[in-house]
Amino acid sequence: MQAIYDLVRDVPDFPRPGIMFKDITPLLADANAFAECIRALCDPWRGKGIGAVCGIESRGFIFGAAMAQSLNAGFVPLRKAGKLPPPVVGMDYGLEYGLDRLEIGTEALKPGERVLIVDDVLATGGTLDAGRRLVERLGAEVVGASVAIELRGLDGRARWVSDAPLHALVSY
């Protein structure tokens, strides 16, 4: 896990003054560390009957798609506004450095389907909360969530009001 810490770069004042941005691109560029990261993210979910991994645009796609393959599950994108063709349902939310909207195709998940939600970073938790609500709106079952990085100081975990587990690989 130390390799993962070593490969996440701190970028001060990006994308806004006062934000310490966690840059995952050095981690993604390292084949062994990225593979180890995907393995470790998937381990808690093996044998748990995950039918679909919902990855959150855009960095959540990188981890989510690789995890879906490893878990032998489908991949369903939760996309930013206006990117998915209709019909969609959407949700506005706030994140550490702005406001945004996530959407999902109304036919993308079956009622009762067992879903894992994946993102790269948990900061204030607004994004993950919006993702959970959208999946539940479609009647699917949120089995849990995984993030590569948790920023504990922003207490995003408090926004995860589900009983389903929320796993973080590394935390700061």
Ligand X SMILES: Nc1ncnc2[nH]cnc12
Ligand Y SMILES: O=P(O)(O)OC[C@H]1O[C@H](OP(=O)(O)OP(=O)(O)O)[C@H](O)[C@@H]1O
Residues designated catalytic:
59, 96
Query: Minimum CB separation from ligand X for residue 138, in Å?
Result: 25
Distance (Å, rounded) from C-alpha 126 to C-alpha 53?
Answer: 19
Q: How far is the CB of 97 from ligand X (least distance, A)?
A: 6
Partner whose footprint covers residue 19, from ligand Y, ligand X, none (CB < 5 to 8 Å by kind):
ligand X
Asked whether position 75 contacts ligand X by CB under 6 A, the answer is no
Does residue 95 bind ligand X (CB under 6 A)? yes
Alpha-carbon separation of residue 86 from 20, 28, 62, 78, 134 (angstroms): 36, 32, 24, 13, 15
Radius of gyration of the chain (CA): 15
40 contacts 1 by C-beta, under 8 angstroms: yes
Return the number of the residue (117 or 151) whose C-beta is nearest ligand X: 151
132 forms part of the interface with ligand X (CB under 6 A):
no
Q: Give residues in contact with ligand Y (CB under 6 A).
A: 56-60, 95-96, 100, 119-127, 156
Task: Count residues near ligand X (CB under 6 A).
Answer: 9
The DSSP symbol for 157 reads G
Please choose, from the candidates 67, 74, 78, the residue with its C-alpha nearest in 3D space to the C-alpha of residue 52.
Answer: 74
The dihedrals phi and psi of 98, each to the nearest 5 degrees, come to: 160, -165
Closer residue to ligand Y in complex, CB, 10/49: 10
Binds 58: which of ligand Y, ligand X, none (CB < 5-8 Å by kind): ligand Y
Maximal CA-CA distance, the chain: 43
Among ligand Y, ligand X, none, residue 25 binds (CB under 5-8 Å by kind) = none
Q: CA–CA separation, 58 vs 65, rounded Å?
A: 11
Rank residues 55 and 111 by Cβ distance to ligand Y and give the closer one.
55
